[in-house]
Amino acid sequence: MKILVCISQVPDTTSKINFIEDNKAFDNQGITYVINPNDEFGLTKSIKLQQQEQAEVVVASVGDASADAILRKCLAIGADRAVRIDTLPQDGLYVAHQLASFAAEEAFDLIITGRESIDYNGGMVGAMLAELLQIPFVTNCIYLEKKGAEIHLEREIDGGKEKLKGEFPLVIGAQKGLVEEKDLIIPNMRGIMQARQKPLTIRAAEELAASSSTLYYEKPPAKGPVKLVDPENLDALIDLLQNEANAL
C-alpha cells in the first residue's frame, strides 16, 4: 500500500492576518508556518496505516524552499520520503495539476489532501486532483478503514454523516475526526534525527498558466464595542435581540 499525503504550509491558527504592497500580498512578518491542520489529520491517519498495513507514506508540497521545513517535520512525524514541487502555488487548479503530474508517475493507492487549507479556504485541490487522475473522491472524510479489498469510509454531511464503500485508488479530503486531536504526533528527537536521513526530493514544476488570480485583499471592518446587559435585567437582552437586532 502506497499513500501520498499532500501538504500545504499555512500561518499558525493564532496568526493575526495583515497585508502589504497595497493589500496585494500577505504579510509574512512574525508569522509562524505550520502544517495545514486538515492535512495534519490526514498525515496522522497515513502514519497509522503505515503501522497497520506496512504502507509507504510519501508527502508532497507545492512551494519554494520555504516549504522544506514543513516537509522535514512531516518526515520527523514518520513519513518515509518527501517531494517538493518547486514553484509558488498560483491557485487551487494549478496546485492540483502539479500534484497530479507527480502522482501519475507513481501508483498511489490512497491520496490524502486536507478538506481545505485554513489560509485560502479554496476547498478544491482534492476534488480537482481526483478529477485529473480519474479516481473517486470523498471529502470531509472522518473515517477510513481497509477491510480486504474494500475500503469503508464516512463523509460528514450537514446534520449527520454518510457511510460509503469503495476501493483503491481513492482521493480523500481529511478533517478532524479521521483521527482525534490527541492522536496527532509531536516529533521526538529520534524522529527528528531520522528525518535528516530521509529523502526530500526537489521536483521541477510543470509550466502552466493560472486559471485565476487574486487581485487584492481586504480585512473586515473594525467592529463596534459590545453592548453589555446587566445579568439582573435579561429582559433588556431579549428586547435588544428582538427589536434592535431582529434576531429572535
Partner 1 sequence: MSVLVYIESQDQQIKKSSLEVAAYGRAVADAMDTSLIAVTFGLADSDLLSHYGVDKVCNVQTEGAAYFNLSRHSSTLARVASEEEATVLIVSGSANGRYLGPAVAMKFEATYFSNVIGLPLSFAPLKVKRSCFTNKAFSYSTSHKEKVVLSLAANTYGIFEKKGNMDQVTVQYAPNASTLEVVSEEKSTQQVSIADAEIVVSGGRGLKGPENWHLIEDLAAVLGAATACSKPVSDMGWRPHSEHVGQTGKPVASNLYIAIGVSGAIQHLAGINSSKIKVIINNDPEAPFFKAADYGVVGDAFEVVPVLIEKLKTLKGN
* Residue 162 touches partner 1, criterion: CB under 8 A: yes
Q: Which of 54, 159, 197, 207 binds partner 1 (CB under 8 A)?
A: 159
Which amino acid makes up residue 237? L
Task: Give the total of residues touching partner 1 (CB under 8 A).
Answer: 76
- Binding to partner 1, residues 8-37 (CB under 8 A): 11, 13-14, 16-17, 19, 37
- Between CA 125 and CA 136 the distance in angstroms is 13
* Residue 147 touches partner 1, criterion: CB under 8 A: no
- Between CA 59 and CA 153 the distance in angstroms is 22
Q: Which of 138, 144, 174, 195 binds partner 1 (CB under 8 A)?
A: 138
CA distance between the termini of the chain: 54
Q: Which of 4, 128, 174, 195 binds partner 1 (CB under 8 A)?
A: 128
* Residue 62 touches partner 1, criterion: CB under 8 A: no
CB of 145 to partner 1, least distance (A): 13
CB of 218 to partner 1, least distance (A): 5
* Residue 131 touches partner 1, criterion: CB under 8 A: yes
- Segment (H or E) for 117: none
Q: Which of 164, 192, 200, 205 binds partner 1 (CB under 8 A)?
A: 164
* Contact assessment for residue 103 and residue 3, using Cβ atoms and an 8 Å cutoff: no
CB of 167 to partner 1, least distance (A): 5
Which amino acid makes up residue 174? A
Nearer to partner 1, 197 or 213 (CB): 213
- Binding to partner 1, residues 198-217 (CB under 8 A): 209-217
Nearer to partner 1, 148 or 159 (CB): 159
CB of 212 to partner 1, least distance (A): 5
Which amino acid makes up residue 120? Y
Q: Which of 20, 104, 106, 161 binds partner 1 (CB under 8 A)?
A: 161
Written as nine digits, the cell of 155 is: 463523509
Written as nine digits, the cell of 73 is: 517535520
At a CB cut-off of 8 Å and minimum separation 6, what does 147 contact? none
- Between CA 44 and CA 74 the distance in angstroms is 10
- Between CA 234 and CA 215 the distance in angstroms is 46
Q: How many residues are listed for the chain in this entry?
A: 248
